[in-house]
């Protein structure tokens, strides 16, 4: 599932992301610590990753095929991002593969 921005958001912290209405994201991780009001996500258009507020986005269901194709495109973007360390690149690629696997499992169950 994608997340679609309902409202614009200006970056408020070095680890958060600015975005506009209608921007699409892939959720990489739901916050599980003290603050469960944020998603760690990747912007579909740019491949940028960071935290986005949960109350600014809504789930946007798509087919498994569309989702998996988009995740593969994002993985290609991550592979060529020069600003990432090898550790950051590996973590993002692992997260993307994990969300793709999770989507396939959900599709097979229902």
Which pair of structure tokens corresponds to residue 110?
Answer: 């229902």
> Shortest CA distance to 53 belongs to which of 107, 8, 104, 110?
8
pTM of the model: 0.87
Model pLDDT for residues 34-44, shown as the tens digit of each residue = 668 899 999 99
Residue 107 predicted with pLDDT over 90: no
pLDDT at 36: 82
Q: Which domains does the chain have, with CATH numbers?
A: 2-60 (2.30.30.40), 64-109 (no CATH)
Confidence of residue 110 (pLDDT cuts 50, 70, 90): low
Mind listing the pLDDT tens digit for each residue in 15-67?
999 999 999 999 997 655 666 889 999 999 999 999 999 999 999 989 999 99
pLDDT computed for residue 33 by the predictor: 63
């Amino acid at each position: 599932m994608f997340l679609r921005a309902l409202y614009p958001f200006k970056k408020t912290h070095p680890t958060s992301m600015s975005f506009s209405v209608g921007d699409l994201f892939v959720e990489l991780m739901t916050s599980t610590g003290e603050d469960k009001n944020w998603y760690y996500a990747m912007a579909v258009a740019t491949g940028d990753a960071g935290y986005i507020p949960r109350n600014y986005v809504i789930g946007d269901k798509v087919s498994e095929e569309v989702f998996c194709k988009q995740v593969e495109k994002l993985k290609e973007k991550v592979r060529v991002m020069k600003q990432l360390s090898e550790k950051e690149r590996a973590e993002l690629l692992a997260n993307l593969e994990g969300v793709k696997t999770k989507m396939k499992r959900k599709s097979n169950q229902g």
